[in-house]
Chains A and B, each alone.
Chain A
Amino acid sequence: MAEGDRSPGASIEVEVLRYRPEQDSEPFYQSFTVPYAEDLSVLQALQHIKDDLDSTLSFRWSCRMAICGSCGLMINGIPKLGCRTFLREYYPGRVRVGPLNHFPIERDLVVDIEDFVGKLEKIHPYIIPREPRTLDQGEYLQTPRQLQRYLQFSNCINCTLCYAACPQYGLDPAFLGPGITALLHRYNADSRDGGQAKRAAIMHAEDGVWGCTAVSYCSEVCPKAVDPANAINQNKMASAMDYFLRFVKPGGARK
Protein backbone atom coordinates (compact mmCIF):
# COMPACT_ATOMS: atom_id res chain seq x y z
CA MET A 1 0.00 0.00 0.00
CA ALA A 2 1.40 3.41 -0.90
CA GLU A 3 1.92 5.69 2.12
CA GLY A 4 0.01 8.55 0.54
CA ASP A 5 -3.19 6.49 0.18
CA ARG A 6 -4.08 6.63 3.83
CA SER A 7 -5.00 9.89 5.51
CA PRO A 8 -3.92 9.24 9.12
CA GLY A 9 -6.78 8.77 11.53
CA ALA A 10 -9.49 8.71 8.85
CA SER A 11 -12.34 6.33 9.57
CA ILE A 12 -15.64 5.23 8.05
CA GLU A 13 -18.85 3.95 9.59
CA VAL A 14 -19.82 0.42 8.58
CA GLU A 15 -23.25 -0.87 9.55
CA VAL A 16 -23.58 -4.64 9.50
CA LEU A 17 -26.78 -6.67 9.68
CA ARG A 18 -26.45 -9.08 12.58
CA TYR A 19 -28.52 -12.19 13.19
CA ARG A 20 -27.54 -14.77 15.78
CA PRO A 21 -30.24 -17.44 15.68
CA GLU A 22 -29.62 -18.65 19.22
CA GLN A 23 -30.28 -15.21 20.76
CA ASP A 24 -31.89 -12.81 18.23
CA SER A 25 -35.54 -13.08 17.22
CA GLU A 26 -34.84 -10.95 14.13
CA PRO A 27 -31.87 -9.27 12.39
CA PHE A 28 -30.68 -5.78 13.44
CA TYR A 29 -28.00 -3.35 12.27
CA GLN A 30 -24.85 -2.95 14.34
CA SER A 31 -22.54 0.00 13.68
CA PHE A 32 -18.74 -0.22 13.65
CA THR A 33 -16.12 2.48 13.07
CA VAL A 34 -13.40 1.14 10.79
CA PRO A 35 -10.09 2.77 9.75
CA TYR A 36 -10.44 4.17 6.24
CA ALA A 37 -7.98 3.93 3.35
CA GLU A 38 -8.53 4.44 -0.35
CA ASP A 39 -7.52 0.89 -1.23
CA LEU A 40 -9.53 -0.98 1.43
CA SER A 41 -12.35 -3.20 0.22
CA VAL A 42 -15.63 -3.81 2.04
CA LEU A 43 -14.41 -7.37 2.67
CA GLN A 44 -11.28 -5.98 4.35
CA ALA A 45 -13.48 -3.77 6.52
CA LEU A 46 -15.40 -6.88 7.64
CA GLN A 47 -12.10 -8.66 8.33
CA HIS A 48 -11.00 -5.69 10.45
CA ILE A 49 -14.25 -5.90 12.43
CA LYS A 50 -13.81 -9.63 13.01
CA ASP A 51 -10.10 -9.40 13.89
CA ASP A 52 -10.16 -6.29 16.09
CA LEU A 53 -13.69 -5.30 17.11
CA ASP A 54 -16.10 -8.26 17.31
CA SER A 55 -14.90 -11.81 16.67
CA THR A 56 -18.47 -13.16 16.68
CA LEU A 57 -19.25 -11.64 13.25
CA SER A 58 -19.85 -14.33 10.58
CA PHE A 59 -19.32 -13.89 6.84
CA ARG A 60 -18.04 -15.94 3.90
CA TRP A 61 -14.95 -15.18 1.88
CA SER A 62 -12.05 -16.96 0.26
CA CYS A 63 -10.05 -15.66 -2.70
CA ARG A 64 -10.18 -11.82 -2.33
CA MET A 65 -9.95 -11.50 -6.13
CA ALA A 66 -13.48 -11.91 -7.49
CA ILE A 67 -13.22 -15.48 -8.70
CA CYS A 68 -14.41 -17.71 -5.81
CA GLY A 69 -17.85 -16.10 -5.59
CA SER A 70 -18.04 -16.43 -1.78
CA CYS A 71 -18.28 -12.83 -0.54
CA GLY A 72 -21.55 -11.73 -2.17
CA LEU A 73 -23.24 -9.10 0.03
CA MET A 74 -25.92 -6.43 -0.13
CA ILE A 75 -23.83 -3.25 0.00
CA ASN A 76 -26.02 -0.17 0.46
CA GLY A 77 -28.85 -2.27 -0.94
CA ILE A 78 -27.06 -3.47 -4.10
CA PRO A 79 -25.80 -7.06 -4.56
CA LYS A 80 -21.99 -6.85 -4.91
CA LEU A 81 -18.85 -8.84 -4.20
CA GLY A 82 -17.28 -7.51 -0.98
CA CYS A 83 -13.76 -8.02 -2.33
CA ARG A 84 -14.16 -5.81 -5.37
CA THR A 85 -16.24 -3.08 -3.76
CA PHE A 86 -14.12 -0.39 -2.16
CA LEU A 87 -14.81 1.86 0.84
CA ARG A 88 -13.77 4.86 -1.30
CA GLU A 89 -17.00 4.45 -3.32
CA TYR A 90 -18.93 5.46 -0.17
CA TYR A 91 -16.49 7.58 1.87
CA PRO A 92 -17.17 9.83 3.74
CA GLY A 93 -20.71 8.37 3.83
CA ARG A 94 -21.44 5.17 5.71
CA VAL A 95 -21.53 1.69 4.23
CA ARG A 96 -24.42 -0.58 5.06
CA VAL A 97 -23.68 -4.29 4.63
CA GLY A 98 -26.26 -7.08 4.70
CA PRO A 99 -26.59 -10.72 3.65
CA LEU A 100 -27.70 -11.38 0.05
CA ASN A 101 -31.42 -10.74 -0.46
CA HIS A 102 -33.94 -13.51 -1.17
CA PHE A 103 -32.00 -16.23 0.65
CA PRO A 104 -32.76 -17.25 4.25
CA ILE A 105 -30.22 -15.74 6.68
CA GLU A 106 -28.27 -18.47 8.43
CA ARG A 107 -26.20 -16.17 10.67
CA ASP A 108 -25.12 -12.52 10.26
CA LEU A 109 -23.95 -12.18 6.63
CA VAL A 110 -24.10 -15.90 5.87
CA VAL A 111 -27.09 -17.06 3.80
CA ASP A 112 -28.42 -20.54 3.11
CA ILE A 113 -27.79 -21.29 -0.60
CA GLU A 114 -28.82 -24.95 -0.42
CA ASP A 115 -31.67 -24.23 -2.85
CA PHE A 116 -29.18 -22.85 -5.41
CA VAL A 117 -26.82 -25.82 -5.04
CA GLY A 118 -29.74 -28.27 -5.34
CA LYS A 119 -30.87 -26.65 -8.59
CA LEU A 120 -27.29 -26.66 -9.91
CA GLU A 121 -27.07 -30.41 -9.37
CA LYS A 122 -30.32 -30.98 -11.29
CA ILE A 123 -29.33 -29.35 -14.61
CA HIS A 124 -26.52 -31.80 -15.55
CA PRO A 125 -23.90 -29.00 -15.38
CA TYR A 126 -21.30 -30.80 -17.46
CA ILE A 127 -20.77 -31.68 -21.12
CA ILE A 128 -22.66 -34.76 -22.22
CA PRO A 129 -20.80 -35.66 -25.45
CA ARG A 130 -22.89 -35.36 -28.59
CA GLU A 131 -20.96 -38.25 -30.09
CA PRO A 132 -18.63 -40.59 -28.25
CA ARG A 133 -15.02 -40.40 -29.41
CA THR A 134 -12.04 -42.55 -28.62
CA LEU A 135 -8.63 -41.11 -27.70
CA ASP A 136 -7.30 -42.11 -31.16
CA GLN A 137 -9.87 -39.83 -32.77
CA GLY A 138 -8.38 -36.86 -30.94
CA GLU A 139 -9.99 -33.92 -29.19
CA TYR A 140 -13.39 -32.38 -29.89
CA LEU A 141 -12.71 -29.45 -32.20
CA GLN A 142 -14.56 -26.16 -31.92
CA THR A 143 -14.45 -23.02 -34.04
CA PRO A 144 -14.08 -19.55 -32.45
CA ARG A 145 -17.68 -18.87 -33.51
CA GLN A 146 -18.89 -22.00 -31.69
CA LEU A 147 -16.91 -20.92 -28.62
CA GLN A 148 -18.52 -17.45 -28.70
CA ARG A 149 -21.99 -19.00 -28.44
CA TYR A 150 -21.42 -20.08 -24.81
CA LEU A 151 -18.21 -18.37 -23.60
CA GLN A 152 -19.83 -15.56 -21.62
CA PHE A 153 -22.19 -17.99 -19.87
CA SER A 154 -19.23 -20.17 -18.81
CA ASN A 155 -17.80 -17.23 -16.83
CA CYS A 156 -20.34 -17.74 -14.01
CA ILE A 157 -18.66 -18.06 -10.58
CA ASN A 158 -21.83 -19.15 -8.69
CA CYS A 159 -21.73 -16.03 -6.50
CA THR A 160 -25.58 -15.84 -6.50
CA LEU A 161 -25.63 -12.03 -6.79
CA CYS A 162 -28.16 -12.49 -9.61
CA TYR A 163 -30.50 -14.36 -7.25
CA ALA A 164 -30.28 -11.48 -4.76
CA ALA A 165 -31.12 -9.17 -7.70
CA CYS A 166 -34.11 -11.20 -8.93
CA PRO A 167 -37.47 -10.23 -7.37
CA GLN A 168 -39.16 -13.18 -9.09
CA TYR A 169 -36.87 -15.54 -7.18
CA GLY A 170 -37.58 -13.61 -3.96
CA LEU A 171 -41.33 -13.91 -4.53
CA ASP A 172 -41.20 -17.58 -5.58
CA PRO A 173 -38.07 -19.59 -4.66
CA ALA A 174 -39.32 -22.45 -6.87
CA PHE A 175 -38.18 -20.37 -9.91
CA LEU A 176 -35.01 -21.89 -11.41
CA GLY A 177 -33.54 -18.38 -11.46
CA PRO A 178 -30.93 -16.47 -13.49
CA GLY A 179 -27.55 -18.06 -12.73
CA ILE A 180 -28.63 -21.69 -13.03
CA THR A 181 -30.44 -20.99 -16.32
CA ALA A 182 -27.29 -19.28 -17.63
CA LEU A 183 -25.27 -22.39 -16.73
CA LEU A 184 -27.91 -24.66 -18.25
CA HIS A 185 -27.67 -22.62 -21.44
CA ARG A 186 -23.85 -22.69 -21.27
CA TYR A 187 -23.91 -26.49 -21.75
CA ASN A 188 -26.88 -26.56 -24.16
CA ALA A 189 -25.16 -23.99 -26.40
CA ASP A 190 -21.87 -25.90 -26.50
CA SER A 191 -21.32 -27.58 -29.90
CA ARG A 192 -19.76 -30.60 -28.16
CA ASP A 193 -22.82 -31.18 -25.96
CA GLY A 194 -25.77 -33.44 -26.72
CA GLY A 195 -27.59 -33.27 -23.38
CA GLN A 196 -30.32 -30.78 -24.41
CA ALA A 197 -33.13 -33.35 -24.07
CA LYS A 198 -32.07 -34.16 -20.48
CA ARG A 199 -32.25 -30.49 -19.52
CA ALA A 200 -35.42 -29.67 -21.48
CA ALA A 201 -38.04 -30.51 -18.83
CA ILE A 202 -36.40 -28.24 -16.22
CA MET A 203 -35.92 -25.37 -18.67
CA HIS A 204 -39.39 -25.44 -20.29
CA ALA A 205 -41.26 -25.73 -16.97
CA GLU A 206 -43.32 -22.87 -15.56
CA ASP A 207 -40.66 -22.57 -12.84
CA GLY A 208 -38.02 -22.67 -15.60
CA VAL A 209 -37.55 -19.84 -18.11
CA TRP A 210 -41.23 -18.85 -17.85
CA GLY A 211 -40.78 -17.68 -14.25
CA CYS A 212 -38.76 -14.74 -15.61
CA THR A 213 -40.51 -11.41 -16.29
CA ALA A 214 -37.42 -9.74 -17.83
CA VAL A 215 -36.65 -7.45 -14.90
CA SER A 216 -33.05 -8.07 -16.07
CA TYR A 217 -31.43 -6.65 -12.94
CA CYS A 218 -29.55 -9.98 -12.72
CA SER A 219 -27.47 -8.96 -15.73
CA GLU A 220 -26.81 -5.51 -14.24
CA VAL A 221 -25.27 -6.85 -11.03
CA CYS A 222 -23.36 -9.82 -12.51
CA PRO A 223 -19.64 -9.27 -11.71
CA LYS A 224 -18.60 -11.45 -14.68
CA ALA A 225 -20.85 -10.01 -17.44
CA VAL A 226 -22.55 -13.39 -17.87
CA ASP A 227 -25.88 -11.73 -18.78
CA PRO A 228 -28.22 -14.38 -17.34
CA ALA A 229 -31.27 -12.44 -18.56
CA ASN A 230 -30.05 -13.10 -22.08
CA ALA A 231 -29.69 -16.85 -21.44
CA ILE A 232 -33.24 -17.01 -20.05
CA ASN A 233 -34.91 -14.97 -22.77
CA GLN A 234 -33.15 -16.77 -25.62
CA ASN A 235 -34.57 -19.96 -24.18
CA LYS A 236 -38.09 -18.58 -23.92
CA MET A 237 -37.97 -18.51 -27.71
CA ALA A 238 -36.50 -22.03 -27.80
CA SER A 239 -39.16 -23.20 -25.34
CA ALA A 240 -42.02 -21.67 -27.37
CA MET A 241 -40.65 -23.22 -30.58
CA ASP A 242 -40.35 -26.59 -28.87
CA TYR A 243 -43.99 -26.35 -27.73
CA PHE A 244 -45.52 -25.31 -31.07
CA LEU A 245 -43.33 -27.39 -33.36
CA ARG A 246 -44.71 -30.55 -31.71
CA PHE A 247 -47.92 -29.95 -33.64
CA VAL A 248 -46.27 -29.76 -37.04
CA LYS A 249 -43.57 -32.41 -36.64
CA PRO A 250 -44.65 -35.88 -37.83
CA GLY A 251 -45.65 -37.79 -34.69
CA GLY A 252 -44.48 -34.87 -32.55
CA ALA A 253 -47.70 -34.22 -30.64
CA ARG A 254 -47.75 -37.77 -29.27
CA LYS A 255 -44.52 -37.19 -27.35
Chain B
Amino acid sequence: MSAETRTMGKRRPYRRAMDGWWTRNPFFVRYMIREWTAVLVAAYALVLLVGAVRLAQGEAAYSAWFESMKSPFALAFHWVTLAVFLYHTWSWFEIMPRTMPAIFVGGKRLARGVITAAGIAAALACCAIVLALALGGGR
Protein backbone atom coordinates (compact mmCIF):
# COMPACT_ATOMS: atom_id res chain seq x y z
CA MET B 1 0.00 0.00 0.00
CA SER B 2 1.42 3.40 -0.93
CA ALA B 3 1.79 6.11 1.71
CA GLU B 4 -0.98 8.12 0.07
CA THR B 5 -3.63 5.38 0.18
CA ARG B 6 -2.66 4.61 3.74
CA THR B 7 -3.28 8.16 4.95
CA MET B 8 -6.22 8.99 2.69
CA GLY B 9 -8.15 5.69 2.80
CA LYS B 10 -11.74 6.54 1.89
CA ARG B 11 -11.31 10.22 2.71
CA ARG B 12 -12.97 12.57 0.26
CA PRO B 13 -13.14 15.97 2.02
CA TYR B 14 -16.04 18.04 0.66
CA ARG B 15 -15.45 21.75 0.05
CA ARG B 16 -18.52 23.98 0.09
CA ALA B 17 -18.89 26.85 -2.40
CA MET B 18 -18.71 30.47 -1.22
CA ASP B 19 -21.14 31.80 -3.88
CA GLY B 20 -23.51 34.38 -2.41
CA TRP B 21 -21.85 34.10 1.03
CA TRP B 22 -22.83 37.59 2.13
CA THR B 23 -26.54 36.99 1.54
CA ARG B 24 -26.62 34.14 4.09
CA ASN B 25 -26.32 36.25 7.23
CA PRO B 26 -27.74 39.72 8.04
CA PHE B 27 -24.41 40.58 9.69
CA PHE B 28 -22.63 40.10 6.34
CA VAL B 29 -25.30 42.16 4.53
CA ARG B 30 -24.61 45.06 6.92
CA TYR B 31 -20.87 44.59 6.32
CA MET B 32 -21.35 44.79 2.54
CA ILE B 33 -23.47 47.95 2.91
CA ARG B 34 -20.70 49.48 5.06
CA GLU B 35 -18.10 48.66 2.41
CA TRP B 36 -20.26 50.01 -0.43
CA THR B 37 -20.90 53.29 1.41
CA ALA B 38 -17.14 53.87 1.11
CA VAL B 39 -17.58 54.01 -2.68
CA LEU B 40 -20.04 56.89 -2.40
CA VAL B 41 -17.78 58.62 0.15
CA ALA B 42 -14.95 58.43 -2.40
CA ALA B 43 -17.28 59.67 -5.17
CA TYR B 44 -18.23 62.70 -3.09
CA ALA B 45 -14.56 63.44 -2.41
CA LEU B 46 -14.10 63.56 -6.22
CA VAL B 47 -17.02 66.02 -6.52
CA LEU B 48 -15.37 68.32 -3.97
CA LEU B 49 -12.01 67.91 -5.74
CA VAL B 50 -13.58 69.04 -9.03
CA GLY B 51 -14.94 72.08 -7.14
CA ALA B 52 -11.45 72.90 -5.85
CA VAL B 53 -10.02 72.62 -9.39
CA ARG B 54 -12.76 74.92 -10.73
CA LEU B 55 -11.99 77.40 -7.94
CA ALA B 56 -8.34 77.47 -9.03
CA GLN B 57 -9.49 78.22 -12.60
CA GLY B 58 -11.13 81.48 -11.54
CA GLU B 59 -14.40 82.96 -10.39
CA ALA B 60 -16.44 82.21 -13.54
CA ALA B 61 -15.45 78.54 -13.57
CA TYR B 62 -16.25 78.19 -9.87
CA SER B 63 -19.62 79.94 -10.20
CA ALA B 64 -20.60 77.60 -13.07
CA TRP B 65 -19.64 74.56 -10.96
CA PHE B 66 -21.53 75.98 -7.97
CA GLU B 67 -24.66 76.55 -10.10
CA SER B 68 -24.44 72.98 -11.45
CA MET B 69 -24.54 71.78 -7.82
CA LYS B 70 -28.05 73.28 -7.54
CA SER B 71 -29.61 71.07 -10.23
CA PRO B 72 -32.31 68.65 -8.97
CA PHE B 73 -30.00 65.72 -9.74
CA ALA B 74 -27.12 67.26 -7.76
CA LEU B 75 -29.44 68.06 -4.84
CA ALA B 76 -30.81 64.49 -4.81
CA PHE B 77 -27.24 63.20 -4.94
CA HIS B 78 -26.38 65.35 -1.92
CA TRP B 79 -29.31 64.05 0.13
CA VAL B 80 -28.48 60.43 -0.71
CA THR B 81 -24.83 61.07 0.08
CA LEU B 82 -25.74 62.66 3.40
CA ALA B 83 -27.76 59.57 4.42
CA VAL B 84 -24.95 57.27 3.30
CA PHE B 85 -22.39 59.38 5.20
CA LEU B 86 -24.43 59.11 8.39
CA TYR B 87 -24.50 55.30 8.12
CA HIS B 88 -20.81 55.22 7.17
CA THR B 89 -19.88 57.40 10.16
CA TRP B 90 -21.88 55.23 12.56
CA SER B 91 -20.47 51.96 11.14
CA TRP B 92 -16.93 53.39 11.26
CA PHE B 93 -17.10 54.29 14.94
CA GLU B 94 -19.04 51.12 15.71
CA ILE B 95 -15.99 49.00 14.75
CA MET B 96 -13.44 51.51 16.11
CA PRO B 97 -13.18 49.79 19.54
CA ARG B 98 -12.17 46.60 17.70
CA THR B 99 -9.33 48.34 15.90
CA MET B 100 -7.46 49.88 18.82
CA PRO B 101 -5.60 48.68 21.90
CA ALA B 102 -7.63 48.54 25.12
CA ILE B 103 -7.84 51.86 26.97
CA PHE B 104 -7.73 51.78 30.75
CA VAL B 105 -9.17 54.60 32.83
CA GLY B 106 -8.61 54.33 36.56
CA GLY B 107 -7.66 50.66 36.22
CA LYS B 108 -10.91 49.81 34.41
CA ARG B 109 -11.22 49.01 30.73
CA LEU B 110 -13.15 51.59 28.73
CA ALA B 111 -16.36 50.01 27.37
CA ARG B 112 -16.86 49.65 23.61
CA GLY B 113 -19.97 51.82 23.68
CA VAL B 114 -18.07 54.71 25.27
CA ILE B 115 -15.42 54.65 22.51
CA THR B 116 -18.12 54.54 19.80
CA ALA B 117 -20.06 57.38 21.43
CA ALA B 118 -16.90 59.49 21.84
CA GLY B 119 -16.05 58.99 18.14
CA ILE B 120 -19.53 59.99 17.00
CA ALA B 121 -19.48 63.01 19.36
CA ALA B 122 -16.12 64.09 17.90
CA ALA B 123 -17.49 63.74 14.35
CA LEU B 124 -20.57 65.81 15.26
CA ALA B 125 -18.35 68.49 16.87
CA CYS B 126 -16.17 68.67 13.72
CA CYS B 127 -19.28 69.01 11.54
CA ALA B 128 -20.62 71.78 13.79
CA ILE B 129 -17.30 73.69 13.63
CA VAL B 130 -17.08 73.38 9.82
CA LEU B 131 -20.72 74.43 9.47
CA ALA B 132 -20.20 77.44 11.78
CA LEU B 133 -17.10 78.51 9.81
CA ALA B 134 -18.91 78.11 6.48
CA LEU B 135 -22.00 80.02 7.60
CA GLY B 136 -19.90 82.67 9.36
CA GLY B 137 -17.61 83.05 6.32
CA GLY B 138 -20.62 83.54 4.04
CA ARG B 139 -21.68 86.66 5.89
Inter-subunit contact A104/B15 (CB<8 Å) = yes
| A161 and B31 alpha carbons, distance in the complex (Å) | 19
Check: A92 CB closer than 8 A to any chain B CB.
Answer: no
Q: Which of B42-50, B56-64, B98-106, B116-124 contacts A (4 or more CB under 8 A)?
A: B98-106
Contacts of A167 in B (CB 8 A): 18, 21-22, 28
A75 to nearest B CB, angstroms? 13
CB contact under 8 A between A233 and B98, given known A167-B22, A170-B21, A217-B27: yes
Contacts of A148 in B (CB 8 A): 102, 104, 109
A106 to nearest B CB, angstroms? 6
CB contact under 8 A between A21 and B10, given known A167-B22, A167-B28, A171-B18: yes
Residue of B nearest to A22 (CB): B10
Inter-subunit contact B14/A217 (CB<8 Å) = no
B-side interface residues, number (CB < 8 Å) = 26
Of B18, B97, B102, which one neighbours A149 at CB under 8 angstroms?
Answer: B102
Contacts of B107 in A (CB 8 A): 144-145
B-facing mask of A209-245, CB < 8 A → 1, else 0? Answer: 0000111110110000001011001101100000000
Inter-subunit contact B13/A106 (CB<8 Å) = yes
Mark out the residues of chain B between 1 and 26 whose CB falls within 8 Å of any chain A CB in the assembled complex.
10-16, 18, 21-22, 24-25
| A213 and B97 alpha carbons, distance in the complex (Å) | 15
Mark out the residues of chain B between 61 and 84 whose CB falls within 8 Å of any chain A CB in the assembled complex.
none
Residue of A nearest to B24 (CB): A77
A73 to nearest B CB, angstroms? 14
Inter-subunit contact A234/B104 (CB<8 Å) = no
| A145 and B109 alpha carbons, distance in the complex (Å) | 10
| A217 and B28 alpha carbons, distance in the complex (Å) | 8
CB contact under 8 A between A21 and B14, given known A149-B102, A233-B99: yes
| A84 and B93 alpha carbons, distance in the complex (Å) | 31
Residue of B nearest to A19 (CB): B14
Check: B111 CB closer than 8 A to any chain A CB.
Answer: no
Inter-subunit contact B98/A214 (CB<8 Å) = yes
Check: A41 CB closer than 8 A to any chain B CB.
Answer: no
CB contact under 8 A between A234 and B100, given known A77-B24, A215-B28, A220-B27: yes
B52 to nearest A CB, angstroms? 28
Check: B128 CB closer than 8 A to any chain A CB.
Answer: no
Check: B126 CB closer than 8 A to any chain A CB.
Answer: no
Check: B95 CB closer than 8 A to any chain A CB.
Answer: yes
A222 to nearest B CB, angstroms? 12
| A215 and B35 alpha carbons, distance in the complex (Å) | 10
Residue of A nearest to B102 (CB): A148
B53 to nearest A CB, angstroms? 30
B41 to nearest A CB, angstroms? 16
Inter-subunit contact B101/A234 (CB<8 Å) = yes
Which positions in A face B, CB cutoff 8 Å?
19, 21-22, 26-27, 77-78, 101-102, 104-106, 112, 144-145, 148-149, 167, 170-171, 213-217, 219-220, 227, 229-230, 233-234, 236-237
What are 21 A-B pairs at a CB distance below 8 A? A21-B12, A22-B10, A26-B14, A27-B14, A78-B25, A102-B16, A104-B13, A104-B15, A105-B13, A144-B107, A149-B102, A167-B18, A167-B21, A171-B18, A230-B100, A233-B98, A233-B99, A234-B100, A236-B99, A237-B99, A237-B100
Q: With contacts A19-B14, A149-B101, A227-B98 known, what are 6 further pairs, Cβ within 8 A?
A: A105-B13, A148-B104, A149-B102, A217-B28, A230-B97, A233-B98
